[in-house]
Structure 1
Amino acid sequence: MNKKVKEYLLITLGMFMVAAGLYFFLMPDNLAIGGANGLAIVLNHWIPSISVGAFMIIINIILFIIGFLAIGTSFGIKTIYASIGTSVIVSLFEKFLPYYNSPTEDIILQLIFGVLVSAIGMGIVFNQNASTGGTDIIAKILNKFLGIGLGKGVLIADLAIVLGAGFSFGFELGMYSLLGVIVNGFVIDSTIEGMNLSKSVSIISEHSDEIKKYIVEELGRGATIYYAEGAYTRRKKDVIVTIVDRKDFIKLRSFIKDIDKNAFVTVNNIYEVLGDGFMDIES
């Protein structure tokens, strides 16, 4: 599949998840967990004649205009597509499911499922080098003009929205929203790490030539060979080091097991790999 097509399919999946988490779980109980989405929920409370989806579109357009004027054209087509697209999907939900109510009366369940679904969706979008707009743009503006770090900028913007939720919907809902902001960040990071997870594998074997050939020819991966000496035996040995994804690691482990049950293998999780065969270093 074409790389660009795959990227946009994944971004679209992430958009639908963000919109679904917001509309089906967070919006019914006015849980504003930051971002343009959360700000739209707060504004809708004060101006109910404008839907949440419409507010999201308006907020993102305004932020993009400010962003273009303040920090240039660094957002990219994918970010515009993801942010406006998510807003449109919410608007479609509001149009075709206008009287949707909470599936449960337990606000904690609503918060947990809403954050999980939307944060996983955001993680998918972020992993394609895009974003859903909102507080990301505010953070970049704060970073450029006030020197505030991007992470702190997002936190400041989200906390301001949470305070707005507390003022609009009461202290208790404000606290739930704050909890959602905190959990949201952890889930997004975990999603990105999980999608990018690779395995760094070090192999010492009497059948190193066969293993090297399998890695290069069958798995289509590269490897680095280190020449080592056993501290006890004083024997010269090859140490094969390669990085593979989870699927290829299972194949490699099975191959090693079949040809050399005495092989010595160490495995480490790698959460980001940049370069040939993996993520583009420029992204």
Structure 2
Amino acid sequence: MKSKLKNFSLLTISTLIMAVGIYFFKFANNFTFGGITGMAVLVARFTPLSAGDFSFIANILLLIIGFIILGRDFAAKTAYSTILLSISLSLLERIFPMSKPLTDEPLLELVFAILLPALGSAVLFNIGASSGGTDVIAMILKKYTSVNIGRGLLFSDMLFTAAGFFVFDVKTGLYSMLGLIVRSALIDNFIESLNRSKYFHVVCTDPKPICQYIETTLKRDSTLVSATGSFTGDNKYIILTVLSPSEAVKLRNFIRGNSPGAFLLISNTSEIIGKGFHSV
């Protein structure tokens, strides 16, 4: 129940963050990167449909495709996020109608048009959901190919972004292309940051207090490997464990105070699959 509540909160908050970035900074400046919402800018230019209403229709169609290919759990989370995003955009259009950008600094607005949706998308991808649209296409590409999320978004959104050169002007098209490239890179970096853990190699002569601290205080597990020092020939032990960044600080401080002779190798990793981390 706690896990479901956490996922629901993350779905809601990340989707609302995306809605703010898309409506106030992306739609207002006619930036065309970002798949369906980018295409919505183009459609709103030539049809009676508003950008928010078009996003809702297109997202429903892609959601059906996602349900068929990616499964029920993904579809349920994405359906909630898609509907919430579409409703939020439609409400913002009616509550805060905008006839021009918030500022006269397009580069500043581009930064927020990139950062807010990229952060929201990264959180959604990280919990096995998406905001719909071409994010669904990126998830399908990730499932069946070696293409990562960011690159998948770059491929799927390139056409809509390029259209900005012809529909609006070169300046808007260039801003949109820059936004697409930066957003694609940021999403992968955000996802990696959200999943970042610390991988420990601890070489010591007495592993018992360290292992006990890991198990009883940090509530984690570890693997113990027998080893021999190549220079001294002494018997050694290598403790292998993976911890969150905050847990890593605690373990490092414990070893420093209680096993000062231990040798530590600590590295960053974001691909941890197993109990306590991500399932396969």
Q: Same fold (TM over 0.5)?
A: yes
Give deviations 1:168-227, integer Å, cap 9, x for gaps. 111221121111111111110011100100000011234421001000111111111111
What is the total number of aligned residue pairs between the two structures? Answer: 277
Looking at structure 2, the residues matched to 148 and 211 of structure 1 have their Cα atoms a distance apart, in angstroms, of 38
Establish whether residue 30 from structure 1 lines up as the match of residue 30 from structure 2.
yes
Instruction: Tell me, in whole angstroms, the C-alpha distance in 2 between the residues paired with 1:26 and 1:247.
Output: 36
The correspondence of residues 1-283 of structure 1 with structure 2, limited to 5 A, is: 2-47=2-47, 49-65=48-64, 71=69, 75-99=74-98, 101-138=100-137, 154-281=153-280
Q: 1:68 to 1:255 in 2, by over 3 A?
A: closer
Query: Which 10-residue stretch deviates more, 78-87 or 208-217?
Result: 78-87
More divergent stretch after superposition (234-243 vs 200-209): 200-209
SS in 1 for 2:19: helix
Cα pair 2:28 2:98 within 8 Å, conserved: no
Counterpart-to-counterpart distance in 1, 2:46 and 2:146: 30
Judge which range, 3-12 or 164-173, deviates more: 164-173
Question: In the alignment, is the contact (CA less than 8 A) between 1:206 and 1:260 conserved in 2?
Answer: no
Contact in 1 for aligned 2:228/2:235 (Cα 8 Å)? yes
Residues 207 and 259 of structure 1 are in contact (CA less than 8 Å); yes or no, is this contact kept in structure 2? no
Note closer, same or farther for the CA distance 1:66–1:129 as it changes in structure 2 (3 Å cut): closer
2:98 is matched by which residue type in structure 1?
Y
Is the 1:198–1:269 contact (alpha carbons within 8 Å) kept by the matching residues of 2? yes
Q: Which amino acid aligns with 2:239?
A: I
2:153–2:184 Cα contact (<8 Å) kept: no
| Cα distance in structure 1, aligned partners of 2:129 and 2:63 | 14
* Offset at residue 109 of structure 1 (A): 1.2
Q: Deviations over 1:130-155 (max 9, x none)?
A: 011111344678999xx996867643
**Unmatched tracts of structure 2, length 5 or more:** none
Deviation of 1:98 (Å) = 1.3
Segment drifting more, 188-197 vs 147-156: 147-156
Structure 1 residues 72 and 239, CA, compared in 2 at 3 Å: closer, same or farther? closer
Summarize the Cα distance change of 1:204–1:100 in structure 2 as closer, same or farther, 3 Å threshold: farther
State the TM-score, normalized to the length of structure 1: 0.89
Bigger mean CA offset, 98-107 vs 157-166:
98-107
Alpha-carbon spacing, 1:160–1:130, altered in 2? closer, same or farther (3 Å): same
Report SS of the residue matched to 1:130: coil
Matched AA of 1:83: T
Separation in 2, partners of 1:162, 1:13: 27
For residues 226 and 72 of structure 1, the distance between their equivalents in structure 2, rounded to whole angstroms, comes to 40
* AA matched with 1:116: L
User: Residue 9 of structure 1: CA displacement?
Assistant: 0.8
- Secondary structure of the 2:182 match is helix
Question: % of aligned pairs identical?
Answer: 36
Change (3 A) 1:100 1:126: farther
Q: CA distance change for structure 1 residues 148 and 161 in 2, over 3 Å: closer, same or farther?
A: farther
**What is the aligned-residue RMSD (CA, Å)?**
2.5
Contact 1:24/1:100 (8 A) holds in 2: no
CA distance in structure 2 between the aligned counterparts of 1:154 and 1:260, rounded to whole angstroms: 48
How far the C-alpha of 1:232 sits from its partner, in A, is 1.2
TM-score (norm 2): 0.90
Aligned partners of 1:143, 1:7: CA distance in 2, in Å? 22
**CA spacing shift, 1:148–1:275, aligned 2, 3 Å:** closer
**CA separation of 1:26 and 1:258: change in aligned 2, threshold 3 A:** same
Q: 1:40 to 1:148 in 2, by over 3 A?
A: farther
